[in-house]
């Protein structure tokens, strides 16, 4: 009984956070072009965000994530349109925050950084969407546990499909 309740919570959490996942994945397909940091360097002489964080990628993430959320809302009534927009925006801001930290640590664009590649986008998505729809601690805990393996798996699939040049 307890385990089926836990499974239901996990599935509800995944359904809810789907726009943030879509937002995070969209730039792989629709990104590229003009870099968000205008090719500028930080005080440490390293790129602020790096060439892989582009304007098109950022906006494709916000738009696609929100659109998927609207579709979900039409199907079963959640997440709300506001939550979808907020978590998609949060995901993209979190993704850039992760890159900012990677650059400060001297990790080059596109190089793997366990946890920094998975958590900033998720945590910002959860915090942003909290303004509209607060998630329970159980659901947040499930998402923190399940997101790194899902991220690894989707990256492997994107690599095998030829969408990404590296498998992380």
Residues near ligand CTP (CB under 6 A): 27-28, 31-32, 50, 52-54, 57-58, 95, 99, 102, 109-111
Least distance (Å) from ligand CTP to the CB of residue 130?
23
Least distance (Å) from ligand CTP to the CB of residue 132?
23
Q: What angle do CA 157, 32, 62 make, to 5 degrees?
A: 80
DSSP 110-143: T---TTTTTHHHHHHHHHHHHTTSPPPHHHHHHH
* 23 in Cβ contact with 64 (< 8 Å): yes
Nearer to ligand CTP, 77 or 106 (CB): 106
Nearer to ligand CTP, 61 or 69 (CB): 61
* Nearest-CB residue for ligand CTP: 57
- Report d(CA 151, CA 64) in Å as an integer: 18
Residue 52's CB: how many other CB atoms inside 10 A? 16
Nearer to ligand CTP, 102 or 139 (CB): 102
Nearer to ligand CTP, 5 or 156 (CB): 156
């Amino acid at each position: 009984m307890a385990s089926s309740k836990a499974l239901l919570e996990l599935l509800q959490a995944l359904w809810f956070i789907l726009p943030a996942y879509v937002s995070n994945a969209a730039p792989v397909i629709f990104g590229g072009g003009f870099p968000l940091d205008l090719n500028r360097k930080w005080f440490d002489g390293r790129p602020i965000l790096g060439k892989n964080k582009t304007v098109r990628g950022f906006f494709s993430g916000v738009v696609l994530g929100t659109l998927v959320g609207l579709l979900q809302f039409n199907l079963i009534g959640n997440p709300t349109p506001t939550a979808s927009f907020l978590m998609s925006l949060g995901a993209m801001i979190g993704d850039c925050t992760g890159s900012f930290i990677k650059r400060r640590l001297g990790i080059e664009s596109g190089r793997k950084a366990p946890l920094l590649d998975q958590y900033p986008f998720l945590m910002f998505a959860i915090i942003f969407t909290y303004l509209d729809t607060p998630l329970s601690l159980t659901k947040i805990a499930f998402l923190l546990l399940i997101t790194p393996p899902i991220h690894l798996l989707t990256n492997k699939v994107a690599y095998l499909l030829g969408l990404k040049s590296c498998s992380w």
